[in-house]
Every structure is written in C-alpha cells, then in structure tokens.
Amino acid sequence: MSTSLNPSNPTPTPRTRVVREPQRAVYDREAVNQILDEAFLCHVGFVVPGQPDAQPFVIPTSYGRVGDTLYIHGSAASRMLRNLDKGVPVCITVTLLDGLVLARSIFNHSMNYRSVVILGTATLVADPAEKLAALRALSEHIIPGRWDDSRQPNERELQQTSVLRVPIAEFSAKVRVGPAEDNEEDYSFPTWAGVIPLEMTAATPIEDTRLDPGQEVPEYAKHYSRKR
C-alpha cells in the first residue's frame, strides 16, 4: 500500500504504539533517524511541575542528534527548567510536511508527512565536554560547517546556555506518502485530484548590513537545503 512502510524493527511501547492509521506506523530506528536528520525544528511538550491541572506546554525549538541522544537548548524551555533536578518527562515531536493530498471526497483529503514522536525524560547536561559537543552537534545539525566559521563560545556564554539530553529510546514515527485514496465509487466524481508537493526552501541569503565586503557567501548559505 502506498501509505504504509513496514516496520523492520517493531518495538513500540503501549505509549508509542500508533493508534490511528496504524498502517502508517514506523518503528525502525534508521527511518526515524532519517526524519530527525532532515528536520531541525521540534516541538517539546512538558508539564510544569506542581500545577494542579496537568496543563501541558508545547514549545518550538531546534535540536541536534548524537547517536541515540537528542539535545535541545534549555534556554528554549525555561519554564521546564524550574524543577529539573530529577529530570522532566517530555514528548518531542518532529514533523516534516511533504504535501497536500486532494481526493475527490472531502473525507479522503489528507496530507503527506513524516513525523516522529519521542517520549523520555529530559535531563540537564552538566559535563562541560558533553555540553560543548552537544552545542556543536546542534549547530552542525542546522548548518553543517558553520561552527568552525564562527567565533567560538566563551566561558560566560556557555554558563548562560543550558543543554538538555533526551534519550531516543521510546519512539515511533508516522509516514504518509503517495496519492489520494478515494472510495471506488468516488473516482467518477467530476473534480481535479492529486498532490500538491510542499517543501521548505531557502531563498537567496541576505547579507548583513555590517558585513566585511571581503566575505563571500559560504556554500552552506548559498545552497542551503535539508535534503541529505
């Protein structure tokens, strides 16, 4: 089926097992890593401890991956950091939108997408070497090559930055690809049907107004793309 990818390593937990549209579920780590590596924006969900009504918060932030570990900037989730001594349960969701699927019936309209959900406990990175490596991974994840071209972080800046570690251990992905799937009797309905592909694209870089005229636009800025 066009909308399913068979899991090569199906080990969901009851919490990460895909309930809706289970044929779209992907539990294979390599496939999940590919999605994580193409995207760089995640949405982090957490509950502020001590609140009576279990109010969740969802914050967008960037991330980096080192093996089976995801790193995020703590500064992007300061509400989360208030009570982090024991770690905080989080859900990290990464979504790539690939297209709009226009079926004959309203009911069968859909989207093509690839998304990953990771459940885990976020803990503060205390070790200075791991912290620096995580920041470098975050930077290189977004713009490979940029770290070495930049003024390196100093002691004060490192102290101002918090980094959180989330193991990529309990996860699932959901993928939809391919054309619309209409009910057989709807194929004769007189309307256009198809897919509008969507993609995040980069435009021509805007040079800083105070840029040293001798500085040329580096390749990573001139031809920025997430395709690997």
Residue 87 near residue 167 (C-beta atoms within 8 A)? no
Find the helix or strand (DSSP H, E) in which 115 lies.
strand 110-124
Q: Token match 């995640």: residue?
A: 42
DSSP reduced 3-state for 100: strand
* Positive or negative torsion for Cα 206, 138, 159, 119: positive
Smaller CB separation from a copy of itself, 10 or 145:
145
CB of 43 to a copy of itself, least distance (A): 4
φ and ψ of 156, to 5 deg: -65, -45
CB of 139 to a copy of itself, least distance (A): 6
CB of 202 to a copy of itself, least distance (A): 5
Residue 158 near residue 129 (C-beta atoms within 8 A)? no
Residue 146 near residue 222 (C-beta atoms within 8 A)? no
φ and ψ of 77, to 5 deg: -140, 55
Residue 112 near residue 176 (C-beta atoms within 8 A)? yes
Smaller CB separation from a copy of itself, 70 or 135:
135
Smaller CB separation from a copy of itself, 8 or 57:
57
- What's the burial of 179, exposed, middle or buried (CB within 10 Å: 0-12/13-18/19+)? middle
CB of 96 to a copy of itself, least distance (A): 10
The token duo for 116 is 């990953």
Q: Token match 């066009």: residue?
A: 2
Smaller CB separation from a copy of itself, 47 or 69:
47
Smaller CB separation from a copy of itself, 5 or 116:
116
Smaller CB separation from a copy of itself, 34 or 48:
48
CB of 92 to a copy of itself, least distance (A): 7
CB of 135 to a copy of itself, least distance (A): 7
